[in-house]
Amino acid sequence: MKLREYQLEALECVWNDLFKNSESLCVLPMGSGKTEIMIEILRKALSLKKDFRAVVLVNKINLLDQTYRRFKVLGDCVSMFCGTRNKKDLTAQITVATIQSIHKIEIQSLNLIVLDEVH
């Protein structure tokens, strides 16, 4: 998918913030493509660092399923971790998880934690 100009600008700002400050916040309206921006950030990180690992945290089961399906565009490097789905795979480079299922799990050598739909 080709990103729109404002999405490319957001991607660049987040990417630069991550290197400059080790954290970033991206706020965009519903339907503006935040997930697409996240996918491109992860794609870029995967291409630059072969042992890159990230966790994408969501706060609801329906968001978990939706996010996992969208992130599968990145390939087999994406897994799901959710107690109620009986899926507890932390072996992939990118794990999409519910905060409720993973909050007590220690994950080794993470490069990035992404919080989606934080209210």
Q: What is the pLDDT of residues 69-103, one digit of tens each?
A: 999 999 999 999 998 888 888 889 999 999 888 87
d(CA 53, CA 111): 5
Neighbours of 41 (CB within 10 A): 20
pLDDT at 4 over 90: yes
- Name which of 35, 47, 45 is nearest 96 in CA terms: 35
Q: Do residues 84 and 61 make contact, with C-beta atoms less than 8 angstroms apart? A: yes
Instruction: Quick: pLDDT tens for 5-36.
Output: 999 999 999 999 998 998 898 898 888 999 99
For CA atoms 44, 47, 53, 57, give the dihedral sign. Answer: positive
d(CA 89, CA 76): 12
